[in-house]
Amino acid sequence: MEQTDSVECPTCGNIYENSFAERFAIAKDEDTCKDLLLSLNSDLKKIVESIQSEYKSYDKNNHEQEKIKGILSKKQGAVKLKDIILNEGKREMNLLMEEEISSLNNEIYNKSRI
């Protein structure tokens, strides 16, 4: 069994000393790489599970959204619930505007008396 003083790595092309210590270091690196691969595969599995969970949540939310849209679009006689909600919002806005106008008119009146 004839050994040379150096060996070329078939993967990266680097030249390594052909000694017991160097071969041991390479074997240690290989073990580290295997451990890293196992850890990364475990992380990947967790990420895939998280993605699947998010997709389920997304699908559930879409289903809920469709149900809400269906409820809002149901007709109650000639009026839709959605229209009632919009009109109530407009009515509330008008009340707020009238209060603001009244407050400003009072302020103008008070300042003009000075």
Domain boundaries, the chain: 76-114
CA–CA distances in Å: residue 18 to residues 24, 80, 81, 97, 109: 10, 84, 82, 88, 100
* pLDDT computed for residue 3 by the predictor: 63
Higher per-residue pLDDT: 104 or 69 = 104
Q: At what angle do helices 81-112 and 20-73 cross, to 10 degrees?
A: 80
Q: Say if residue 2's pLDDT is above 70.
A: no
Q: Say if residue 77's pLDDT is above 60.
A: no
Q: Which residue has the tokens 């409820």?
A: 71
Q: What is the pTM of this model?
A: 0.44
31 closest CA partner among 23, 89, 11:
23
- List pLDDT tens digits, range 24-51: 776 677 778 888 889 999 999 999 999 9
* pLDDT computed for residue 40 by the predictor: 92
Q: Say if residue 113's pLDDT is above 70.
A: yes
Distance CA(42)–CA(32), nearest Å, equals 15
Token readout for 113 is 């008396």
pLDDT confidence bin for 100, thresholds 50/70/90: very high
Distance CA(43)–CA(45), nearest Å, equals 5
* pLDDT computed for residue 1 by the predictor: 44
Q: Say if residue 20's pLDDT is above 90.
A: no
